[in-house]
Amino acid sequence: MRFFFQYVAIIMFFASNLCAAVLPEQIAIIVNKNDAMSLEIGNYYQQKRNIPDENIIRIEFPVTGSMGSHLFSMLRQQIVAQTPEQVQFYVLAWSKPYKVACMSITSAMTFGFDRKYCAHDCSPTEPSVYFNSNSLSPFNDFKIRPTIMLAGSSMKQVKAMIDHGVQSDGTFPTGTGYLVTTSDAARNVRSYVFETISAAYSNRIKIEVSETDALHKKQDVLFYFTGGVEVKGLKTNRFLPGAIADHLTSSGGVLFGDRQMSILKWLDAGATGSYGTVTEPCAFPQKFPHPGIVIDRYTRGESLIEAYWKSVAWPGQGLFVGEPMAAPFYNSHDQ
């Protein structure tokens, strides 16, 4: 597994030039009519990103943390039947549910519920056909629609996250990518590629590799990748619009009520996107974002949903949350 992760860190240096941005007509927003917050999120996001009316899909289901696979599969059939052909990505306008049996709801919506994407004890899961691909149209190319959630601890926080994404577009920020190794050895399985990533991309953005349990009072956070059950001091830092941040641990994607830190804490602190697993992943690095792929693709113009989704080799247990169209390094003049 170490070899695999290091191999990816090397081959990504030879990827072709990119300049991509997700268009409003490529996004479908899925709204739960039984959830007042979902309706408000969907409406707000549609206005902010000019999503066409025909791309708003309204369904009904219970507001619970986990959904059964049978109900989900029926709902997904309804969603697919209502999806315009040009749609390449789904956006879920809610915070619950975030899990479908043993899969995250973002992966279940992307691939359809399938237990090959679930872990059996500590085992590999089905790989993603979208991993590190140069596809600009995943439904056209692979018959999948990568999915992300507009989730949050409050309506105020969700709106702030959306606003941060919109504000980031084409800003070419001069922030720093922080690659942090903590004292939690079991959760630092990504750290051995940090120096390689720094050497590859420090000519593109500032990258700081450090050993500490938490950053404090950093004013320019664009990327923050670390490992640990909890990350302290988040709100002492300033996250730039479009910032991506996550912590490798077992259940960061359990958004509410778990003993480990929820990825919503990153969004509360000002990040625009985060990722965590909803069931025990056993620290396979392939089940978490590869920081080098995220940094590489994001800084070459891909949107948040593209760069983040393409960075996870085995995403079946992983939940993506954030503003999908954020594209801080996209230059429309290159099209």
What is the CB-side half-sphere exposure of residue 138 using CA atoms within 13 A? 24
Does any domain span residue 261?
no
**Residue 329, token pair as written in the block:** 């390094």
Does any domain span residue 304?
no
91-149 pLDDT, tens digit each: 999 999 999 999 999 999 999 999 999 998 899 999 999 999 999 999 999 999 999 99
pTM comes to: 0.95
Which residue range forms the structural domain that includes residue 60?
Answer: 24-148
pLDDT score at 14? 44
Does any domain span residue 112?
yes
Cβ pair 9, 196 in contact under 8 A: yes
The parts of the chain modelled with pLDDT lower than 50 are: 1, 3, 7, 10-11, 13-16
Does any domain span residue 10?
no
pLDDT score at 1? 47
Does any domain span residue 269?
no
- What are the distances in angstroms from CA 226 to CA 159, 288, 322? 26, 11, 18
pLDDT score at 4? 53
| Cα distance between residue 291 and residue 289, in whole Å | 6
| Cα distance between residue 26 and residue 252, in whole Å | 29
Domain count, the chain: 1
* Displacement of CA 81 from its chain's centroid (Å): 25
Does any domain span residue 169?
no
DSSP state of 316: T
DSSP state of 62: -
Beta strand 273-277 with 318-322 is antiparallel
pLDDT score at 21? 82
Does any domain span residue 130?
yes
